[in-house]
Amino acid sequence: MARHVFLVAAPFGVIVGAAIAGYDFVVNELLWKTCTEHLSEFALCFLPIVAMLLTGIIMSLFRVKSSSMADEVVRAYHRPDQQMEYKAALPKLTASVATMGFGASAGMEGASKWLGGTITSYLQRKINSSPRLQFLRAKSEITLMVGAAAGIAAIFRAPLTGAIMGIESPYKHDLAHEALIPGLVASATSYATFSFLRPATPYFPIEFTYHIHIRDLLLCLPVGILGGLASHLFLALLARMKKRYSRWTAPRVVKNLLGGILLCCIALLTLHVVHSPATLQAGLPVANALLNGKYVLWACLFLFAVKLVATVITFGMGGVGGLFVPSATIGAALGAACDAMFHPSQPGLFTLIGIAAFTGASYNSLLFAAVFVAEATGSPALVVPGLIASSAAFLVAAGISNSEAQREHRITDEGKLSTMPCSKWMTRRIVVASPTETLAHFHDRAVLEHTFDELPVVAKDGTYLGIAAMKSLRMVPQEKWASLPVTSIIDRQARTVCAYHSMKIVEQELAHGSHDYVPVVDPATDHLIGILSARDVLRARMRVDDAARARQAALPKAGLQTIINTKETQ
């Protein structure tokens, strides 16, 4: 672990920090700053058309299938066999520069997370394939999350936020804890490198030092609930927009162009209403204006609505970038409205808490949103109200997330039994009993021919009826065996499963049922298609154990552990 942390994670953080600094310079200095200096606000409103059109052209020309960035990192973490799309990396990065550099409603953190993960996973795979660098080998998916954390730490100017976001993002109710220590080190070196190359000004500079007030903490609950409800609306609209985009048969360029035109109209509307094209780009200046109380209540609600719609259109219609900062701007507008209604002890407090609530709910996170607000302002005390609001939003969100690849929990070796469909383990050549045969004939076939204690009973058309067991036969006087049919002892309540049920379910059914076998039945026809026993469950468990031992054997052992093992064998 220590070898990987200092010889891999730390230098990788430096590389990622430098890459993010260059990316930030191109987007914010060469493109967006140049546009804002040479164009009027009215002209800026038309730039999203350029942004979305260029994005569509690049994605179509290079045949890039997916526009997701942060979600691709999470998907690659869970499926390391599929890897990142390295061949599509440069076109996708160029498309993200076009999306954000020309003012579409997207942030840089998604691309930064993706760029960091792409760089580090690629380098780690090269290391793993080199015989000379065996001592630096590690799981590429862990290094992937380390790079993602480093990318977030650099662009947010917040190393702790980057490390926490890295371990929180793969799961809804769990943590990728193995990436925590190397992620912290890589985030620190990435942040230091970025600070050396680019201005490291905080995202939300504030002029006050917050002190905890009980009234503020109580009011954080309704702010968090509002943030959770708003995230439901946001993610529902985004999912619907993406669905319609995917079903529309028009060329990608045409669809993106329409998205750009809609963004242009929203920007012009915003310019007319609040005298600023506030929906352009990620919206960080707007969030700071909201924080400083420059908008009244109705304007805050208006900005909340138009920024939410603009972000839905950007990502629903093919934009490439990050959702976090636009989400933070949406949360800031919602929080600023709460500031106007609730009047906290410090003006602007609920604007910051709204950011923690809305982003925490949208990303299904408890920790990183609150820590981000504290780091982005330089006020550690804001962690307390931020956690209260993000916790309330997390509960209201009820597991929704803007990441389709995010999983509920880590899959342990025990849990992997739950991923094995029983159709792969069931016996398909089955000895069955007929409902019309006599008990005597059933006894002779079951005991003398096949040595089975019980048999499934199946009708002529293949319909499963139940299980006939020898223990039930013993309860019938032997002199009646020649006259009574098998249906007289059949157990019609015997537990069954379907082919898509997991081996974990089969194990539970065997444990709770009264039979030694679990029939597999087709739910559409009620036909018997297979049968399972405790032996099949044991075979599945052995497969899980063998895979776990193989993975353990493939892991590089630290030098200290090797010495200990050597001493133990002497």
The residues spanned by each domain of the chain are: 2-197, 214-397, 418-542
| Helical segments of 317-436, H only | 324-342, 349-362, 368-377, 383-397
| Top-tier CATH class for 418-542 | alpha beta
Question: Could you say which DSSP state residue 332 is in?
Answer: H
At 552 the pLDDT is 57
Burial class of residue 437 in the structure, from the number of CB atoms within 10 Å of its CB (0-12 exposed, 13-18 middle, 19+ buried): middle
- What topology does CATH give the domain 214-397? Clc chloride channel (1.10.3080)
Question: Could you say which DSSP state residue 31 is in?
Answer: I
* b/e per residue 555-566 (b: at least 16 CB within 10 A): ebeeeeeeeeee
At 255 the pLDDT is 92
Kindly state the helix (H) or strand (E) to which residue 201 belongs, with its residue range: none
Question: Could you say which DSSP state residue 61 is in?
Answer: H
| pTM of the predicted model as reported, rounded to 2 decimal places | 0.74
Helix (H, G, I), strand (E, B) or coil at 217: helix
Contact, 422 vs 497, CB < 8 A?
yes
The type of residue at 26 is V
Handedness of CA 447, 448, 452, 454 (dihedral sign): negative
How far CA 275 is from CA of 278, 335, 462, in Å, comes to 9, 21, 74
Task: Please name every residue paired with 407 in a beta bridge, in sequence order, or none if there are none.
Answer: 171
- What are the E-state strand segments in 430-473? 454-458, 464-469
| CA–CA dist 117, 84 (Å, integer) | 9
| CA–CA dist 401, 239 (Å, integer) | 11
Helix (H, G, I), strand (E, B) or coil at 468: strand
| Helical segments of 363-458, H only | 368-377, 383-397, 439-443
At 411 the pLDDT is 64
Question: Could you say which DSSP state residue 465 is in?
Answer: E
Query: Average pLDDT per run of 10 along the chain, which is 570 residues long?
Result: 83 95 94 93 94 93 85 86 82 92 90 92 90 85 92 92 90 85 94 92 82 92 94 92 89 93 96 93 91 93 96 92 91 95 91 93 86 90 92 86 78 68 87 88 79 87 89 85 88 89 87 87 90 87 72 49 38
Task: Please name every residue paired with 438 in a beta bridge, in sequence order, or none if there are none.
Answer: 485
Please state the φ and ψ torsions of residue 524, each to the nearest 5 degrees. Answer: -80, -35
| CA–CA dist 230, 358 (Å, integer) | 7
User: Over the chain, what is the mean pLDDT?
Assistant: 87
Please state the φ and ψ torsions of residue 466, each to the nearest 5 degrees. Answer: 160, -165
At 84 the pLDDT is 84
| CA–CA dist 120, 124 (Å, integer) | 6
At 414 the pLDDT is 57
* CATH tag for 2-197 (out of 1.10.3080.10, 3.40.50.150, 1.10.287.3510, 3.20.20.70): 1.10.3080.10
Do 2-197 and 418-542 share a fold? no
